[in-house]
Structure 1
Amino acid sequence: MTGQLTNNKFHRPDIIQRLRNGETILVAEGYMWEFGRRGYLKYGGFIPEVVLEHPDLVESMHEEFVHAGTDVVEAFTYYANREKLRSIGREDELEKLNRTALKIAKKVAVRHNKLTAAGLCNTPLYVPGDDTCTAKVKEMFKEQIKWATEEKVDFIIAETFNDLGEALLALECIKEFGNGLPAVITLTPYGPDITTDDVPIPEACRRLEEAGAAVVGLNCGRGPETMLPLLREVRKVCKGPIAALPVAFRCTEDSKTFQSLKDPKTGEYLYPVDLDSARCNSSDFEKFTKEALEIGVTYLGICCGNCATYFRAMAEACGKTPPSSKYTYESSLSHVFGAPEGQKYTRADKIREFMLDIKKN
């Protein structure tokens, strides 16, 4: 255990110190998509009502990702803002949802001596240059940051921004209301490598870094293959730590984002309910992680589509051995594809032929 227990509280190096010391920080995200896949969250609204309705399942998923190797337990407060709760008639439960999510995350983090993060995200209200909208968004950020600081998180993540202006506003609010907590700010590139307020993504990351973000980078939108080229450009212009959290879907040069993926059989768009047919696998994340590390990414994770087995592959590619590594695939234990040393199972060859549909001449 790296922290020291004093007065029932762990004291550990903060995220900035750990990154400066050369550590790679792993951050499991993707709660929204996984809860939707399991039938506890409505696609379309993407509002984390599960925090209120099944808090035990939220705690269990945090435990699952700790088991798979995350260094950070991020509170499930994505889209837990006033405007989104108002859209489903649950605005009066806003504070309860946020505080419940923060307390659950803190509970699991302390149990395993992990860092705790709060989460902010893009809003449906932001309009560049509209002072009235800006004021409303600032108030929404402010109240979420206030609850996060009161629940004693270690840092704040602000993510999935399409507009640089809104990302800068989130950073401004964290600096103003966050009691000195570090800020991780990530952008979501869609088709072109520019923000929706027309700033090249690398330039936007550079400006966020210069404005005081502890970590900048990319999350969501793009899959492992289509995020890597842009990460290389971000690395060229940013001096500090950069982040990479792709979605777990096989995006291509023709379909750079998971929203634009189509079914090869029908030509229909897969987003959001049919994306399973375009999922990545563990080997994809092993490859992505190694390439990201070569680029110089030190804050790594997986966004929408994440699951524990993918995250374990990422952790192991970083040279880490999370508790779930005990259960990593071992071919020698298979009586068909391996067999223990010195043991030969008589019917294994025939079974393998049937399984693989091997045609012998």
Structure 2
Amino acid sequence: MPEGLLERLDKGPLICAEGYLFEAERRGYLSAGEFVPQIALEHPEVLAQIHRDFRHAGSDVIQAFTYNGHREKMRVIGKEDLLEPLNRNALKIAKSVATEPMDGLPDALIAGNISNTNIWDPDDPEACAEARRMFDEMAGWAADEGADFIIGETFYWAAEAEAALAAIRSVGLPAVMMLAPMANDAMQEGTSVAECSRRLEAQGAAVVGMNCFRGPQTMWPLLSEVRAAVSCPVAALPVPYRTTAEQPTFFNLNDHGNCQCPAPHGRTFPTALDPLYCNRYEIRAFAERCLAAEINFLGVCCGASPVHIREIAEACGRIPPAARYRERMENHFMYGSNERIPGAYKALGDRA
């Protein structure tokens, strides 16, 4: 039998690329704000290439792009009839890329995905029941289509995360559960992220951790508390943006202190975050910090590009196919050390 999630984690770090929402939007195949992954039906070849690019960069996991592909979101855009075809097609695309030959790489693991529903309300039992039904159907489709495990992610309600975990466990697949607290640094019920993670582990999660909303700087303090609270593997998938103690999530980031943003909607999130991007070396440093703390399910969430995944892979001691194309500044026409570069051009580099 092929090695599964825990077998691979037993051998070392596991890299999981995410960030498909922003990457598909940047390529012109998804509407920001709405963030519904219709690309799985409308442009499956583009989605397959996104998966392929991240695998080439070092991702060990191909995660089906079903984030926001749940019944409530499909109702919002008036396309509920496309719900099951979207989910199944996304899973089929993930499976096809995970198993296609690529530079001698082993097959990637296939992850199903369920996420925050944005309708969870502890004061509305019917809303909670509807969210549970949504989790059940999506987990069922992931199991039907051959997922190796399911990622439940971006939960800011502890009880919603527990409901998602129950749905994943009911189909017999390992669960990776990731939390995304808002700016108050805790789950919406007031439970700490560490305590919620501890409960999820006790309820059968194979991996617990955090994803999205927070960049490396503001994810780390909470993540380190999670690592201390649990004994299972821990996941760390930040967004690649420079969130701060004053602005701990990317939802309210100012553009270098300037509250005025030229975006039509008046804020940097989600389409004017570009000046606040972490560079690749910052992402690598975060990965190295995680590895030193024995946090070994690693990736990058919304805003990720393949180069970030390559940096994580190399931090893990890997040589992914994309490593062939890492920078070679020694051959740059002004800043290089290559003997063929004329001295006059090197001098230009000092003045440019």
TM-score band, normalised by shorter chain: over 0.9
1:143 to 134, 137, 148: 137
CA drift of 1:39 comes to: 2.1
CA drift of 1:38 comes to: 2.2
- 2:104 aligns to what? none
The C-alpha deviation readout for 1:134-187, integer Å capped at 9, x for no partner, is 2211111111111111110100000000000000000111112x1x21000000
Work out whether 1:187 is the aligned partner of 2:179: yes
Q: Does structure 1 conserve the Cα–Cα contact (< 8 Å) formed by 2:333 and 2:346?
A: no
Counterpart CA distance in 1 for 2:319 and 2:249 is 31
- 1:128 aligns to what? 122
| SS of 2:251 mapped into structure 1 | helix
Work out whether 1:167 is the aligned partner of 2:156: no
Counterpart CA distance in 2 for 1:288 and 1:175 is 31
- 1:358 aligns to what? none
Counterpart CA distance in 2 for 1:265 and 1:187 is 28
CA drift of 1:344 comes to: 4.4
The C-alpha deviation readout for 1:179-227, integer Å capped at 9, x for no partner, is x210000000221221011101100100100110000000001001111
The C-alpha deviation readout for 1:69-127, integer Å capped at 9, x for no partner, is 00000000001111101111111011110011000000000114110001000002211
- 1:7 aligns to what? none
After superposition, the Cα gap between the structure-2 partners of 1:349 and 1:20, relative to the gap in structure 1 and judged at 3 Å, is: closer
Counting only pairs closer than 5 Å after superposition, residues 10-49 of structure 1 correspond to structure 2 as 11-21=1-11, 23-49=12-38
| SS of 2:51 mapped into structure 1 | helix
Name the aligned partner's letter for residue 344 of structure 2: R
Name the aligned partner's letter for residue 314 of structure 1: I
1:310 to 305, 308, 311: 308
The C-alpha deviation readout for 1:270-316, integer Å capped at 9, x for no partner, is 11111011011101111101111111101000001000111111111
Q: Does structure 2 conserve the Cα–Cα contact (< 8 Å) formed by 1:339 and 1:345?
A: no
Counterpart CA distance in 2 for 1:191 and 1:344 is 50
TM-score of the superposed pair, with normalisation by structure 2? 0.94
- 2:41 aligns to what? 52
Name the aligned partner's letter for residue 81 of structure 1: H
CA drift of 1:238 comes to: 0.6
CA drift of 1:352 comes to: 0.4
- 1:245 aligns to what? 237
1:325 to 317, 323, 326: 323
Counterpart CA distance in 1 for 2:340 and 2:255 is 44
CA drift of 1:27 comes to: 0.3
Q: Does structure 2 conserve the Cα–Cα contact (< 8 Å) formed by 1:231 and 1:295?
A: no
- 1:353 aligns to what? 350
- 1:359 aligns to what? none
Work out whether 1:157 is the aligned partner of 2:157: no
Name the aligned partner's letter for residue 199 of structure 1: T
Counterpart CA distance in 2 for 1:299 and 1:54 is 29
| SS of 2:118 mapped into structure 1 | coil
How many percent of aligned residue pairs carry the same amino acid?
A: 42
1:228 to 220, 223, 232: 220
Structure 2 unaligned spans of 5+: 102-106, 261-266
| SS of 2:46 mapped into structure 1 | helix
Name the aligned partner's letter for residue 137 of structure 1: A
Q: Which stretch shows the higher mean deviation, 42-51 or 203-212?
A: 42-51
- Aligned-pair Cα RMSD in Å: 1.3
CA drift of 1:253 comes to: 1.4
Counterpart CA distance in 1 for 2:175 and 2:86 is 22
Counting only pairs closer than 5 Å after superposition, residues 79-94 of structure 1 correspond to structure 2 as 79-94=68-83
Counterpart CA distance in 1 for 2:196 and 2:248 is 19
Name the aligned partner's letter for residue 312 of structure 1: R
Counterpart CA distance in 2 for 1:171 and 1:94 is 21
Work out whether 1:73 is the aligned partner of 2:62: yes
Counterpart CA distance in 1 for 2:152 and 2:226 is 18
CA drift of 1:265 comes to: 5.9
Moved over 3 A (4+): none
Query: How many matched pairs?
Result: 341
1:200 to 189, 192, 200: 192
- 1:8 aligns to what? none
| SS of 1:189 mapped into structure 2 | coil
Structure 1 unaligned spans of 5+: 1-10, 356-361
| SS of 2:208 mapped into structure 1 | strand
CA drift of 1:335 comes to: 3.0
Counterpart CA distance in 2 for 1:41 and 1:331 is 35
Counterpart CA distance in 2 for 1:132 and 1:79 is 20
